[in-house]
Amino acid sequence: MTASTSPVVCWHPANKIGRDLVVGDLHGCVDALRYLLSEIGFDGSRDRLFSVGDLVDRGSDSLAAIDLLDKPWFYPVLGNHEDALCAVAAGRMQRHMWYSIGGAWAANLTDEQLKVIAAKLASVPLVRIVGDGPTRFNVLHAEFFGSDADLEVAYFPDDVRQQMLWGRSLALGTGKPAWQRGLSPTYCGHTPMKAIKQIGSQIFIDTGAYTDDGRLTIVEAGTEQRWSVKQGWASAEGARELTLP
């Protein structure tokens, strides 16, 4: 299974041999991910795991989450927390501003180490488009108002890019679902929900993995299959000893 990549949008053919799964905001909760992948029998040679972004910050193991970028079965989009990391590495944001939203785990990293991580994140797109026709789905971090055709242009003005990474208007009820006419089912995160919720064309799957009462959630795209677990429970069950595919 291959994909053609641009700096902004990445296209993937439909998965003909396995499952396409989508995971909510990780925020360093890799123990929960290890547990869930074991629980669902994830096969890295057949299955693919798409991520709605926010791999880092707030949780316990952001560096382990960054290491997922090296896995051939892992397909993330950029989240606002990765965007903040890259901004700090490039000198566009002060470290203390990033630390205030969860980046304090990186306080002991040198500027050079941060630049190495940012370089790995440079190839992560804003959008992933998977399949075509009635089974197509999109993956992005926060929100998008427009159609599939608008996504496919692969050019987003600064205000649209900001909304795709940081926007909450759809989740808060101020953005109109009608503005998404012609948009295929689109998996997203960014705004934590108590349970998976669809608003307009977007399916919000961030269930607050890093919080005490939250969970990490994985869904199988195009189905009602879903799995979730608390990070603390997964850790207590020895998830750190589980091997990722």
Distances (CA, A) of 207 to 144, 218, 222: 20, 10, 19
Beta strands at 186-188 and 202-204: parallel, antiparallel or unpaired:
parallel
Mean pLDDT of the chain: 95
Instruction: Provide the token pair at 198.
Output: 């669809």
Q: Percent of the chain beyond pLDDT 70?
A: 98
Give 193's contacts (C-beta < 8 A, 6+ positions apart): 171, 204, 205, 206, 207, 208
- DSSP letter at 9 equals E
Q: What's the pLDDT at 7?
A: 76
The Cα 137–Cα 224 span in angstroms is 14
Q: Do the Cβ atoms of 235 and 220 come closer than 8 Å? A: no
pLDDT tens readout for residues 49-73? 999 999 999 998 999 999 999 999 9
Reported pTM:
0.95
Q: What's the pLDDT at 41?
A: 97
Q: Do the Cβ atoms of 163 and 145 come closer than 8 Å? A: yes
Instruction: Provide the token pair at 113.
Output: 């180490």
Instruction: Provide the token pair at 41.
Output: 């029998």
Q: Percent of the chain beyond pLDDT 90?
A: 95
What are the residue boundaries of the structural domains of the chain, listed by start?
4-241
CATH number corresponding to 4-241: 3.60.21.10
